[in-house]
Amino acid sequence: MKAIGLAVLVIAIGVAPACTVTAPATVSLGEFEGRISRQVLVSTQDEYNSAARAAQPGDAIILASGVWRDFDLVLDAEGSESAPIHLLAEQPGQVVLSGQSSLRLGGQHLVVSGLVFKDGYTPLNEVISFRVDAERLAFNSRVTNTVIENYNNPDRVQRDTWVVMYGQNNEFDHNHLSGKLNSGPTMTVRLNSENSQNNNHHIHHNYFGPRPVFGSNGGETLRIGTSHYSLTRSGTLVENNFFDRCSGEVEIVSNKSGGNTYRGNTFYESRGTLTLRHGNGTLVEDNLFDGNGAPYTGGVRVINADQTIRNNLFRDLTGTRFSGALVVMNGVPDSPINRYHQVDGAAIVGNRFEQVSTIELGEGSDAERSAIPINSSFKNNIVIGSREVTPFNLYDDMSGIAFSENYTNLKPPAELSDGFVVLAQGDSVPLVTSSPDTFGVLKSETGVTWFPKPNAASPFEGGRTIEIGPGENQLFEAISTAAPGDEIVLKPGAYNEAKSIAVQMPVTVRAAEAGTVSLSFERRNLFLLSADGALKLSGLAVSGTSAPDNVGNSFIASTTRGGPGNHIVELHDMSFEDFEINRAFSIVTAAKGTFFDRVEVRNSSFRNVSGVPFKFDGETDDFGIYNVEYLIIADSTFENVRGSVASIYRGGRDESTFGPHAFITGSRFENIGAESAPLAVLHGAQNIKIENNQLVQSQPVRFVITTGIPKVAHAGNTDSNGEQVSALSTEDLRK
């Protein structure tokens, strides 16, 4: 796919032992060797601080291998171009900064390499900062061959950023940033003082690993600039980076400044788009946007003046609207700095669009966003697909974009047809400007060689199968010793659990034979999810009759106490009966501050429940935060439920999330909501489907629209006589 001319840097410090050495020693310095005249090996924070204070050009301070806890690591020094000051790991990957550690750089010509941040989180706003404080910035400095993994504040709403570039002429390359879960972009470039503008930074060959859905604004992977300084030139080059499943929110990259270049990057299965949100004159070229058919994968969203998008490959992208393969926005006339500036002079040239869902033109057109694109061109692009339907959608007059010499095998809209050559079946697809292997970068060419990149296996796979028999606390014991991906198989019989079970990894629990296993529990919650906790249950008959006399029991609950995670719950072929001890008994409840990627219920039955079985309404602050991305209820039955069957709350008016989704299909509901509560309450959901359900003594679903352009499908719902009924009542709170 890729034939980048640059050689990949191979760093081979290698041979030093992994143990801690306290006396100065010589380590292999690899690529840095020629510019180092003195080495100081340090093994305590005090030793480091002394060495840093005394550092001279050509020095290399070597951190001894081992775990450095709670290390407020500051390198504030003046190197020179020919003799930088280095901060190196004794052995790359063997120097771990954990607990509450961070790194700040200030001065000139500094080089940092080989560190790993994990098992902790920053006590500051940043993990790696190219400044010591607002006065003392870094220039001509480089961070390379460094890892930050899962270095998350245990409180999801505590905001921080892993890497922040200030100053000028800095380089961030061959690093690995993976698994950010808490609020705040993974990486930003700031322009908040004059000597951070026109910065000429180079961000390249980094591996941006999976960033799961955050469930709110604040999940960008890279942001350059802010609206406040967006008319300033940044001049950052973002090159040959691999964005792997970076799906935190609608903006993978949020470009908020001028004169940047995004070249040769790969965006793989990443939700959202590279968004040219603010600022002018940015170039996007030679990138690969490969959605691999994953939901909401998009390409480039264009706003502002003088943007160039050329020679990119957009492939297998499923996103629509704000998340299309290409989105050209309408602007706001005389826009304030934080709204939408008109697209003017966009050049969209020589790109290939292969199997993409949509190309959205004039997106966002409404009474406010009425300024159509002007002075723009769409030329020499190729648009091919195997579906009959063209991906182009026009939301306004697109006469300000000149379409010419494009090729497609899908009949374009009439307004654009002059600009296309329509290919017939069997025609070869012309190569307009370049060969396919010049798009993007290989994953293996990014990041570091010594730290594994996360794979894409299902969390419920890859473990052992453990068979257990009935009795007291058998499940507690089994899960206490389980490993991620394990499957616990229950032999026929009655299981009772007197303890709550903390679930902090993915685990499957299933009946050896459906219908032969009964399960009861004595605590407020049987399962308490935190961290990587995920549960797949199947074939169990669960009774609530042994639960304590306590308001608000829930079979499964999440908790912030074990740290953040994106949870999954699957309930297949389950039955739940008599969850009526006291009020407000639930099946799955989300605590405020926790998040479920997916709760999926299939072919299951629920009978006699005193509360809301699926309760995801803990985020009442209207900050745009919510508790569940997908709630799927299919082919199931609910009977005698005092609350609504489900409650989802997503407040706030920002448009930065794709969810929540609620899909309720093929299910039967009888006597729900004590005859007055709705079947479900979906406040602020973005995508709902209520289809082919039967409603008996049940009110329609209540859907409250608060923001965005939600997708809504509801059809085929019937009453007890098989007559069609409306299963949805909608209230629209948008202005």
Q: Enumerate binding residues for a second copy (CB under 8 A).
A: 100, 123-125, 133, 154-155, 157-159, 183, 226, 472, 498-500, 522-525, 548-552, 559-561, 583-584, 591-593, 618, 620-621, 623-624
Smallest distance, a second copy to C-beta of residue 624, A: 8
Smallest distance, a second copy to C-beta of residue 226, A: 8
Closest CB to a second copy among residues 539, 624: 624
What CA–CA distance (Å, rounded) separates 294 from 288?
A: 15
Other CB atoms within 10 A of residue 470 CB: 17
CA atoms within 13 A of residue 651's CA, in its CB half-sphere: 7
Taken as a whole, the chain contains a residue count of 735
Smallest distance, a second copy to C-beta of residue 560, A: 6
Structure tokens at 661: 């989704």
Closest CB to a second copy among residues 387, 735: 735
Closest CA to 396 of 343, 355, 339, 352: 343
Smallest distance, a second copy to C-beta of residue 347, A: 33
Structure tokens at 613: 């079985």
Closest CB to a second copy among residues 404, 620: 620
What CA–CA distance (Å, rounded) separates 399 from 647?
A: 45
Closest CB to a second copy among residues 183, 330: 183
Smallest distance, a second copy to C-beta of residue 159, A: 5
What CA–CA distance (Å, rounded) separates 327 from 197?
A: 28
Smallest distance, a second copy to C-beta of residue 122, A: 9
Smallest distance, a second copy to C-beta of residue 304, A: 21
Q: How far is CA 526 from the centre of its chain?
A: 29
What CA–CA distance (Å, rounded) separates 400 from 403?
A: 9
Q: Is 304 exposed, middle or buried (0-12, 13-18, 19+ CB in 10 A)?
A: buried
Residues 6+ apart with CB under 8 A from 403: 377, 378, 379, 416, 418, 419, 420
Place of tokens 């793989």: 268
Other CB atoms within 10 A of residue 214 CB: 25
> What does DSSP say about strands 661-665 and 628-634: parallel, antiparallel, or unpaired?
parallel
Closest CB to a second copy among residues 184, 419: 184
Smallest distance, a second copy to C-beta of residue 580, A: 15
Smallest distance, a second copy to C-beta of residue 491, A: 21
Closest CB to a second copy among residues 178, 183: 183
Residues 6+ apart with CB under 8 A from 735: none
Could you give phi then psi for residue 257, rounded to 5 degrees? -160, 180
Closest CB to a second copy among residues 97, 349: 97
Asked if 690 contacts 664 with a C-beta cutoff of 8 angstroms, the reply is yes
Smallest distance, a second copy to C-beta of residue 615, A: 9
Closest CB to a second copy among residues 417, 620: 620
What CA–CA distance (Å, rounded) separates 185 from 220?
A: 5
- Angle at the Cα of 361 from the Cα atoms of 356 and 366, rounded to 5 degrees: 130
Q: How far is CA 548 from the centre of its chain?
A: 38
Closest CB to a second copy among residues 344, 477: 477
Give per-residue burial for 493-510: e unless 16+ CB within 10 Å, then b.
eebbbeebbbbbbbbbbb
Smallest distance, a second copy to C-beta of residue 425, A: 53
Closest CA to 589 of 557, 613, 563: 557
Closest CB to a second copy among residues 429, 551: 551
Asked if 207 contacts 453 with a C-beta cutoff of 8 angstroms, the reply is yes
Smallest distance, a second copy to C-beta of residue 520, A: 12
Asked if 535 contacts 507 with a C-beta cutoff of 8 angstroms, the reply is yes
The DSSP code for 371 is B
Could you give phi then psi for residue 457, rounded to 5 degrees? -65, 155
Closest CB to a second copy among residues 226, 308: 226
Closest CB to a second copy among residues 254, 667: 254
Residue 684, sorted as left (phi over 0), alpha (psi -120 to 50) or beta, turns out to be: left
Closest CB to a second copy among residues 156, 233: 156
Smallest distance, a second copy to C-beta of residue 625, A: 9
Closest CB to a second copy among residues 133, 418: 133
Smallest distance, a second copy to C-beta of residue 620, A: 5
Torsion angle defined by CA atoms of residues 356, 358, 361 and 363, in that order, rounded to the nearest 10 degrees:
-130
